[in-house]
A = this chain, B = another copy of it.
Amino acid sequence: MAEMDFWYEFGSTYSYPAAMRIERLAGDAGVALRWRPFLLGPIFKAYGWNDSPFNIFAAKGRYMWRDLERICAAEGVALALPPVRCPQNGLKAARLALIGERDGWTPAFSRAVFAANYAEQKDISDDATLRTILAALGVDTDAAFAAANTPETKEALKLQTEEAASRGVFGAPSFIVGDELFWGNDRLEAALSWALSA
C-alpha cells in the first residue's frame, strides 16, 4: 500500500485544515498515513526567528489569516481565532500525540487539539483542555500524561523534530513520500498523487 508521512505542528495554522481533511483524502486515495507531530520552534530558531514568521512579517501574517478564512470556508471547517497569542504552544499536545501512537488515538486526538485551538478558542497548553480531549476519546488521562512527561518521550519528540529537519522540513504541514517533500496544505493533493504513482 502507498504510504505517506504527515508532519504537523499544533501551533501551525495551515496544519489545521490539513489535519481535518487528510484522513478523508488519504482514505479515498488508498494511501496509508503516518501522523508525525513535531515542533517548528527549533527549526525557526535556526533561521534566527524567535517567533512565528506570521508575527515577524506583519503583511504575511495578515494575509495568512485571510487566506485561512477562505480555505476553511471552502472546506466547511470552522475557524475562530484562539483566545491567546498565536501560535499557541503545542509542546504538551505533541508529546501526548506521540503517546497515542501505540493505542491508535493520535489522529483523533490531533484533530481535537486543532479544533480546540482554531475553532473552540481554547488554550491548548492548558492541561485541562488536553485532559478533556483525552477523556472524550476514552483515554486514561493520568496514564497518558505520565507517559508524555517521561524523559524518553521528551527525547523522542526532540528526535522526531530533528528527523523532520534532516529530511528537509522547514514548515508545516509537510508531507513526505519516500524522499519527496511537499510543503503546505495546498500540496496535499499533489503529495497523495505522488504516493500513488511512486
The residues of B that contact A187 with a CB separation of less than 8 Å are 67, 186
Q: Which of A15-23, A57-65, A115-123 lies at the interface with chain B?
A: A57-65
A59-B170, A63-B170, A66-B181 known; 4 new pairs, CB 8 Å cut-off, are A60-B170, A60-B171, A67-B182, A67-B187
Residue A145 lies at the interface, judged by CB distance under 8 Å to chain B: no
22 examples of A-B residue contacts, CB within 8 angstroms: A47-B57, A57-B170, A59-B165, A59-B168, A59-B169, A59-B170, A60-B170, A60-B171, A62-B168, A63-B168, A63-B170, A63-B181, A63-B183, A66-B180, A66-B181, A67-B182, A67-B183, A67-B187, A70-B190, A184-B186, A186-B186, A186-B187
**Measured CA separation A63–B7 after assembly (Å):** 15
Q: How far is the CA of A57 from the CA of B44 in the complex (A)?
A: 10
Could you tell me the distance between the alpha carbons of A180 and B57 in the complex, rounded to whole angstroms?
A: 19
Q: How many residues of A contact B (CB 8 A)?
A: 22
A186, B185: Cα distance in complex, Å: 11
> Interface digits, A167-178 against B, CB 8 Å rule (1 contact, 0 not)?
011110000000
A-B pairs with the 9 shortest C-beta distances?
A59-B170, A186-B186, A60-B170, A59-B168, A47-B57, A63-B183, A63-B181, A63-B168, A62-B168
